[in-house]
C-alpha cells in the first residue's frame, strides 16, 4: 500500500491476517534535536519524488517510567502510526473514488513522563478490526509526543521565549499533519476523533480549552478516559517551584555560566539546547523530582488560565465528548498501608504530588464526608450508613473488609477518585450540557483481568482498567 502526502509518497505494510494496511513510523514534524531541542515542533518542509518506507515503528520519546521499558528511546521521536482496513481500498493508493473513513487518534497516558504511541498495549489493530465487524470502519492513529523535561521544561525564561508545553504542542502538530495528509490514506479530515486515557485524556481536555477555547479545526469529537479539562496537575505549583527545578537543571548541566561566557543569545536555554544528549538525559534522570514532575503549565497562551474557570465560563471547543472514570481510580494514588486515621490525615495534608494539600478545616470536612468503611459486611468496603456516605460512589466492591492494605485505605481511594476524576468529570459533563454540546458520560465498573502487578480483588476497577476493553485487546497484547 502507498500513500502520497503533501511532501512525498510512503509505502507501508499489508497484513493478510487482519486485512489491514500499516504505515508505521511516519514523521509529522522535524526531529526536535540540536537547535530544535526545547522548541515548538516545526513542520516538515522538504519534498521527495522517490518512495519512502513506513514499515517500522520509530523509537519512543525519552521517558522515565516502566511504560518505556523494552522500547527504544530517542530525542528524534515525533512520529505517528496509521492502521487502516484494507478492503475499502481496491487500489494500492487511496484515490478520489475511495471512501473517506472516520479517523481516531489515540493519545497515550503516562503522567507526561512515560509511555509512547508504539506501546504494544495501544496497538489499534484490534479496534480497527472491530470497527469493520460492526460495519463502521475507521482508521486508527497512535502518536508520540515529548515527555518529562524534554517536553514540559518550564521557567520564567522559557515562558518569555514562548517555547512552553511542547509535548502538548507536539500533539497538535500531529493533529495538524493528519488534517493535511489523512485523505491520502483514505481518511476524512472532517471526522477526526481524539481519544486517550489518563494524561492522554487530560491532554485532550487541554486541547478542548486551548488558546481560550479557540477551535482550530483539528478534531470533530473527543473521548476522555480518566481525565478531562478540569485537571489539577498543571496548576499544583508556583513559578518559584518551576524556576527552582529549572535552576537545578541549568546548574547540573554547566549552563549556569558567567554572562561573558554565555552563547550568542546569552541564555541558559540556548546553552541547554546544545548540551550533549547523554549529559542532559543523566540530569533529568538524576532524581525522582526531575524525572516525573514536569507537566503542563499555565502559560497564558496554549493554557490561558485555570481550565476549571474556562469550563465554567463555556470557553471550550463545543464538539461532542465522551467522558468517564473508573470506579476505583484512586487505588493507584493511595499509599500503602493506611491502618489509622492519622495515616489518612497525613495523606490529605502531604500528598501534594497529585492532590492539593488540605488545611485543618478542610481535613475535618473530608473526614466527615469520607467516614470509616462499614466492616460489618465482610464483602464490602462501602462507607458507613450516613446519608452523605451513601451518596458517594461505591468503593472497592470486590475487596474483602477490612481491606488488606489498611482499615482506612478505602477512604483514601474514594477521596482520590472523587477529587481527581469523578467530580471533574461531572462538572465537565454539566458544562457541555449547559452549552448544548453533546456529552456522553459514564462510570466504568468492569475489573480488568488480573496481571502480575495488579489484582482487581485488591485495587478494584483501577486506573487503566478500561484501556484493554476500549481497544478491544482480548488477548492482552503488551500486558506481559
Contact call for residues 1 and 14 (beta carbons, < 8 A) = yes
* Cis amide prior to 425 (ω within 30 degrees): no
- Residue 52 per-residue DSSP state: E
Residues 6 or more apart from 236 whose CB is under 8 A from it? 352, 354, 356
Distances (CA, A) of 221 to 104, 205, 284: 9, 11, 35
Distances (CA, A) of 17 to 14, 113, 186, 378: 9, 35, 20, 48
Calpha distance 371→222 (Å, rounded): 36
> Is the alpha carbon torsion for 39, 41, 43, 45 positive or negative?
positive
Contact call for residues 112 and 151 (beta carbons, < 8 A) = yes
DSSP 434-460: HTT--EEEEEE-PPPPPBTTB-HHHH-
Flag whether the pTM goes above 0.85: yes
Q: Per-residue pLDDT for the chain (480 aa), expressed as one digit of tens each?
A: 999 999 999 999 999 999 999 999 999 999 999 999 999 999 999 999 999 999 999 999 999 999 999 999 999 999 999 999 998 775 555 666 677 999 999 999 999 999 999 999 999 999 999 999 999 999 999 999 999 999 999 999 999 999 999 999 999 999 999 999 999 999 999 999 999 999 999 999 999 999 999 999 999 999 999 999 997 665 656 788 899 999 999 999 999 865 444 444 568 999 999 999 999 999 999 998 899 989 999 999 999 999 999 999 999 999 999 999 999 999 999 999 999 999 999 999 988 777 888 999 999 999 999 998 776 554 555 543 333 443 445 678 778 888 999 999 999 999 999 999 999 999 999 999 999 999 999 999 999 888 766 788 899 999 999 999 999 998 888 887
Name the residue with cell 538524576: 286
> Is the alpha carbon torsion for 147, 148, 152, 157 positive or negative?
negative
Residue ranges of domains in the chain:
2-235+300-319, 329-459
Residue 281, all three cell numbers:
538525559
> Between 3.30.1330.10, 3.40.50.1820, 3.30.930.10, 1.10.40.30, what CATH number should domain 2-235+300-319 receive?
3.40.50.1820
Amino acid at each position: 500500500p502507498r500513500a502520497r502526502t503533501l511532501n512525498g509518497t510512503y509505502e507501508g505494510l499489508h497484513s493478510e491476517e487482519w486485512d489491514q494496511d500499516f504505515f508505521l513510523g511516519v514523521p509529522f514534524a522535524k526531529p526536535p534535536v540540536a537547535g530544535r531541542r526545547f522548541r515548538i515542533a516545526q513542520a516538515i518542509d522538504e519534498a521527495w519524488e522517490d518512495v519512502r518506507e513506513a514499515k517500522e515503528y520509530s523509537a519512543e520519546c525519552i521517558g522515565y517510567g516502566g511504560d518505556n521499558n523494552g522500547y527504544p528511546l530517542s530525542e528524534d521521536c515525533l512520529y505517528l502510526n496509521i492502521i487502516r482496513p484494507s478492503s475499502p481500498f481496491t487500489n494500492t493508493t487511496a484515490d478520489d473514488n475511495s471512501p473517506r473513513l472516520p479517523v481516531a487518534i489515540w493519545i497515550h497516558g503516562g503522567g507526561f513522563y512515560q509511555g509512547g504511541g508504539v506501546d504494544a498495549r495501544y496497538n489499534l489493530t484490534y479496534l480497527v478490526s472491530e470497527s469493520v465487524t460492526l460495519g463502521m470502519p475507521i482508521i486508527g492513529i497512535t502518536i508520540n509526543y515529548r515527555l518529562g523535561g524534554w517536553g514540559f521544561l518550564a521557567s520564567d525564561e522559557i515562558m518569555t521565549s514562548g517555547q512552553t508545553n511542547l509535548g502538548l504542542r507536539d500533539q497538535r502538530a500531529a493533529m495538524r499533519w493528519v488534517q493535511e495528509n489523512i485523505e491520502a490514506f483514505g481518511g476524512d479530515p472532517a471526522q477526526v476523533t481524539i481519544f486517550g486515557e489518563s494524561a492522554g485524556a487530560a491532554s485532550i481536555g487541554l486541547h478542548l480549552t486551548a488558546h481560550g477555547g479557540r477551535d482550530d479545526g483539528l478534531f470533530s469529537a473527543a473521548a476522555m478516559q480518566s481525565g478531562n479539562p478540569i485537571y489539577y496537575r498543571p496548576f499544583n505549583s508556583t513559578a518559584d517551584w518551576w524556576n527552582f527545578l529549572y535552576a537545578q537543571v541549568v546548574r547540573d548541566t554547566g549552563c549556569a555560566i558567567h554572562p561573558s561566557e554565555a552563547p550568542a543569545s546569552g541564555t541558559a536555554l540556548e546553552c541547554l539546547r546544545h548540551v550533549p544528549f547523554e549529559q542532559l538525559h543523566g540530569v533529568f534522570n538524576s532524581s525522582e523530582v526531575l524525572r516525573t514532575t514536569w507537566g503542563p503549565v499555565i502559560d497564558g497562551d496554549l493554557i490561558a488560565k485555570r481550565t476549571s474557570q474556562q469550563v465554567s465560563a463555556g470557553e471550550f471547543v463545543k464538539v461532542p465528548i465522551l467522558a468517564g472514570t473508573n470506579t476505583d481510580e484512586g487505588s493507584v494514588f493511595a499509599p500503602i498501608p493506611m491502618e489509622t486515621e492519622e495515616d489518612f490525615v497525613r495523606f490529605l495534608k502531604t500528598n501534594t504530588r497529585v492532590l492539593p494539600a488540605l488545611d485543618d478545616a478542610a481535613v475535618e470536612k473530608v473526614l466527615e464526608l469520607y467516614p470509616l468503611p462499614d466492616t460489618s459486611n465482610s464483602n464490602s468496603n462501602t462507607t458507613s450508613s450516613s446519608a452523605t456516605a451513601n451518596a458517594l460512589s461505591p468503593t472497592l466492591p470486590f475487596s474483602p473488609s477490612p481491606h488488606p492494605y489498611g482499615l482506612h485505605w478505602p477512604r483514601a481511594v474514594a477521596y482520590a477518585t472523587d477529587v481527581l476524576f469523578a467530580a471533574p468529570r461531572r462538572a465537565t459533563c454539566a458544562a457541555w450540557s449547559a452549552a448544548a454540546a453533546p456529552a456522553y458520560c459514564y462510570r466504568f465498573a468492569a475489573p480488568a483481568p488480573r496481571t502480575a502487578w495488579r489484582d482487581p480483588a485488591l485495587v478494584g476497577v483501577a486506573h487503566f482498567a478500561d484501556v484493554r476493553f476500549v481497544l478491544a485487546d482480548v488477548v492482552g497484547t503488551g500486558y506481559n
